[in-house]
Amino acid sequence: MAQVSSAPFGIRIVPDNQPAGVPAWVPPPGYFADVPMKNMPQDVTPALYRSIGDAMDNPFTVWGGSAILRDYSSLGAQVYYSGGHEATTSLPNVQFSLICDFSTLTWSVANVPTSANIATTFVNGYAPDDTPYTPHTYLGLQELPRAWGGGVRGSLMSFFWAGSPYENRINVLDVAQLNYGYSRFVTRQPQNADPTRIRFTASDASRGTYPITVMDDVRQGWWVATNGSAHYTLFVSRTGDITQYPALGGNLANGALVLCNRLNLLIALDGGYSSGPYAGTAYRRMYIRNLETGAMTTISTAGTVPSLTHGYDGGGTNFHRLDSLGLQWVDELGCIVGLDQTVSPPVIVRLTPPATDPASAAWTWERVPLQHWPNDSGGQSQLQAAQNNIWSKFRWVPSLHAFVYGTAKNRRPQVVKL
């Protein structure tokens, strides 16, 4: 945008920091702000669950995440979905999706049953009304676009095995439906007698848990892996056909899966301990598959890797949980980005590829300096923290060219611009 100064003939060129169509409430690069929502999640509590005091906490606090549905509106929406661990077996499983619409700046709910399903009534993961149990979702939520067979406003896919003993199936939520709107994604996996089941080992001894998934727009499907024992990393196509590949890593410790579109690389990042009885260097490893050639490499990372104060062994600052950072590659930023809650307040971290071959040289961890946007009058002055980790609640929103995440039923989400 050109601005004319008061000096004769003086012209100053000021760059436009926002791409066309980005709303004015998105801050400039280097800043974060509140998303100016007109209501709060607690304001849209379904009548079915108003007697349950923590019902609207579930999507934010019960080990779960979200996905961005680009078809929901002109700017898209962030859809949260998680649950499980009812306080008592006599309480219902809290079943609904929670929608943050970036166009109307309103919260709403969808996929609500018409009557409560008590936790003990589910058989193999489904209630008598055929609605699925709402499990921990971790990194197992992804978008099913309308063009791929999703609903008119897009659908939410829940890769279903996290935090439950039920068989591995993919449930689909048509978020245009206030009530119900659930279906099962029909899959076909080689050497699997049940076409709707998913497995990660040659036998069916290990069903897989703690899903790590990533969407692939180019190949039109989703890459799917699991933390723990695995022989395969899977590609699930939009038509439900599953292709088995040798597992990236194969036995990840709280790892994450990232697709670097521009580099044509699928990357599994491992977690683990730097000290104590389980010490090792796995937390610095990146397992990489070149999706053009199929070649697999293992490289290391440089810089300070985020670590928790206490790991499962109760030791010191030694446990690197890379699954809990919400890591994702963004083409326009040219790096992997996540939200690090191992410090307070949280900070944004990035993992940047080397100038040389990114499949063979070390990537580097670093913190990204950010400030609260002065224009966000009355907004949260620090990045907010999520209870029980961030998982995929921290998401890149293509229409906003920024990250958005929410953490509580009575707080506004925040938008982060790098």
pLDDT digits (tens, 9 = 90+) for 242-256: 999 999 998 898 999
- Please report which helix (H) or strand (E) contains residue 59, including its range: helix 58-61
- Look up the pTM and report it: 0.93
Higher pLDDT, 1 or 220: 220
pLDDT digits (tens, 9 = 90+) for 359-406: 999 999 999 999 999 999 999 999 999 999 999 999 999 999 999 999
Give the torsion sign (CA, 199, 209, 218, 292). Answer: negative
Is residue 14 scored above 50 in pLDDT?
no
pLDDT digits (tens, 9 = 90+) for 20-32: 899 999 999 999 9
Is residue 277 scored above 70 in pLDDT?
yes
Q: What is the mean pLDDT of the chain?
A: 91
Among the listed residues 387, 383, 376, 392, the one whose alpha carbon sits nearest the alpha carbon of residue 409: 387
- Cβ–Cβ under 8 Å, residues 97 and 90: no
pLDDT level of residue 2 (50, 70, 90 thresholds): very low
Beta strands in 102-149 (DSSP E): 106-110, 141-144
Look at residue 16 in the predicted model and tell me its pLDDT: 44
Task: Provide the β-strand partners of residue 258.
Answer: 267
